[in-house]
Amino acid sequence: MIRINNNFNRLSESYLFSTIGRRVREFEESNPNVRIIKMGIGDVTLPLCSAAVHELVIASQEQGSITSFCGYGPEQGHQFLIEAIIENDYLPRGIKLHNNEVFISDGAKSDIGNIGDILSVDNVVAVTDPVYPVYYDTNVMAGRRIIKLPCLETDNFIPHLPKEIPNIIYLCYPNNPTGIAMTRDQLAVWVDFARQNKSLILFDSAYEAYITSNDVPHSIYEIDGARECAIEFRSFSKTAGFTGLRCGYTIVPLELKAIDADGHMASLNALWRRRQTTKFNGASYVVQRAATAVLSGKGRQQVRQCIDYYMHNAEILRRGLAEVGLSSYGGIDSPYLWVKAPGGMSSWEFFDRLLTDCHVVGTPGVGFGDAGEGFLRLTAFNSCENTLEAVNRLKSFSI
Ligand code: PLP
């Protein structure tokens, strides 16, 4: 008989979004005249910027001509996009990268999931709690032992260094779901810890474009020594509305080394290149052209307007929640607000009350991990009109 990877039996079934969907549907069925505002969604709502759309059209037309048709590209990505990334996303922050340290992909989620291919299953992994579930579940699938790092309100949701030393540490800042960002000093503590203990940090900066605070780093490589201990994942999804188009990239510095079973040092950059050239045939050419257009002067200006729009929503939410006496965190360097359920309510009780009293839908924090109990995530990705209306409705909320 064929055997399955039994680790899949160890995954806990995620009922979070299906349960939310069911409860909302049931409420809608018994209250057909009510308009529900969904503030739980983690997807963007504004369309692609015109610079990206224009380039998609041009690049698609090129594909229809014998003189400009482009088939398989380099697995690591086209040089035009790699150079645009280095010049626009890193050099202005004083970070120098070699072209062969940048790997273009079809999104951060795939790279975050696939990176485990080059790392032994014997590594002990640390993830925050609450957490973006991909870090946790992909390691359960691989059969790695996982240490949880609780992120508590009393610590402003910044995790403490673990007592047991992990080999791999996932950090996501600005954070999904808490919306909290790490300052340079706070991140430097983790970089120092990783260097001292020869651990690897997998740093997810999918939300770096939302940072507004000066003391918050956009890249982990702004921290001294990070090139020796960190891989960084980035995405065009939340930066430029590419959630449907799909494009991301991963930085694997040439200095990064890990040990093999014979005690020899191996380059993680070389291993990731080997993994990608074997299992991946590159992101779509047309999409890479659109991503390059996002990084042009015009494109940057246009996507900035979208991000400012969402961050204006975040500000409306933050102020609105404070006005009605609800404590919330985040929303300054990220599009997420982490709202404390009042009166000791559980995440799900708060979810139900917001749905029935205000017709507003959030995401129960406990769905992101046990330490998320008692919180609820709201996002700034809705329209400004709906955000204002949601805040207005919150005024009728009482414990
Ligand atoms: N990382 C985090 C923290 C996210 O919240 C998301 C998407 O919600 C991703 C990565 C996925 O990015 P992509 O759309 O590029 O796969």
pLDDT of residue 85: 98
Q: What is the mean pLDDT of residues 373-387?
A: 97
pLDDT of residue 255: 96
pLDDT of residue 77: 98
Is the CB of 176 inside a 6 Å radius of any atom of ligand 1? yes
Residue 75's nearest CA partner among 257, 285, 251 is 285
**Atom in ligand 1 nearest the alpha carbon of residue 247:** 15
pLDDT of residue 257: 97
Tally Cβ neighbours within 10 Å of residue 26: 11
Is the CB of 108 inside a 6 Å radius of any atom of ligand 1? yes
Kindly tell me if the per-residue pLDDT of 167 is higher than 80: yes
Read off the pLDDT of residues 23-54 as tens digits, 9 standing for 90 and up: 999 999 999 999 999 998 789 999 999 999 99
Nearest-CA residue for ligand 1 atom 8 is 42
pLDDT of residue 52: 98
Q: What is the mean pLDDT of the chain?
A: 96
Q: What is the mean pLDDT of residues 197-206?
A: 98
Read off the pLDDT of residues 144-158 as tens digits, 9 standing for 90 and up: 999 999 999 999 999
pLDDT classification of 64: cutoffs 50, 70, 90: very high
pLDDT classification of 161: cutoffs 50, 70, 90: very high
Is the CB of 172 inside a 6 Å radius of any atom of ligand 1? yes
Nearest-CA residue for ligand 1 atom 11 is 109
Contact indicator for 332, 213 with CB cutoff of 8 Å? yes
pLDDT of residue 75: 94
pLDDT classification of 18: cutoffs 50, 70, 90: confident
Q: How far is the CA of 171 from the centre of ligand 1 (A)?
A: 13
Using left for φ > 0, alpha for ψ between -120 and 50, and beta otherwise, residue 19 falls in: alpha
Q: How far is the CA of 138 from the centre of ligand 1 (A)?
A: 14
**Atom in ligand 1 nearest the alpha carbon of residue 107:** 15
Read off the pLDDT of residues 218-254 as tens digits, 9 standing for 90 and up: 999 999 999 999 999 999 999 999 999 999 999 999 9
Contact indicator for 111, 103 with CB cutoff of 8 Å? yes
Q: What is the mean pLDDT of residues 278-298?
A: 97
Is the CB of 206 inside a 6 Å radius of any atom of ligand 1? yes
pLDDT of residue 341: 97
pLDDT classification of 126: cutoffs 50, 70, 90: very high
Amino acid at 273: R
pTM over 0.95: yes
**Atom in ligand 1 nearest the alpha carbon of residue 243:** 14
Q: How far is the CA of 109 from the centre of ligand 1 (A)?
A: 5
Q: How far is the CA of 288 from the centre of ligand 1 (A)?
A: 18
Is the CB of 113 inside a 6 Å radius of any atom of ligand 1? no
Is the CB of 178 inside a 6 Å radius of any atom of ligand 1? no
Query: Candidates 231, 237, 363: which one to mutate for ligand 1, based on the most atoms within 8 Å of Cβ?
Result: 237
pLDDT of residue 82: 98
pLDDT classification of 14: cutoffs 50, 70, 90: confident
Read off the pLDDT of residues 310-326 as tens digits, 9 standing for 90 and up: 999 999 999 999 999 99
Tokens standing for residue 193 = 């810890």
Distances in Å between the alpha carbon of 152 and those of 163, 217, 272, 288, 339?
A: 17, 22, 34, 39, 13
pLDDT of residue 398: 79
In angstroms, the CA 54 to CA 8 distance is: 43
In angstroms, the CA 327 to CA 151 distance is: 16
Query: Candidates 128, 132, 294, 338: which one to mutate for ligand 1, based on the most atoms within 8 Å of Cβ?
Result: 132
Query: Candidates 109, 136, 173, 242: which one to mutate for ligand 1, based on the most atoms within 8 Å of Cβ?
Result: 109
Give the DSSP H or E segment for 145.
strand 145-150
Is the CB of 204 inside a 6 Å radius of any atom of ligand 1? yes
Q: How far is the CA of 247 from the centre of ligand 1 (A)?
A: 11
pLDDT of residue 399: 73
Q: What is the mean pLDDT of residues 384-390?
A: 97
In angstroms, the CA 340 to CA 338 distance is: 7
pLDDT of residue 41: 77
Nearest-CA residue for ligand 1 atom 2 is 206
pLDDT of residue 188: 98
Kindly tell me if the per-residue pLDDT of 124 is higher than 90: yes
Read off the pLDDT of residues 74-118 as tens digits, 9 standing for 90 and up: 999 999 999 999 999 999 999 999 999 999 999 999 999 999 999
pLDDT of residue 16: 85
Q: How many helices (H) and strands (E) does the chain have?
A: 12, 15
Q: How far is the CA of 268 from the centre of ligand 1 (A)?
A: 22
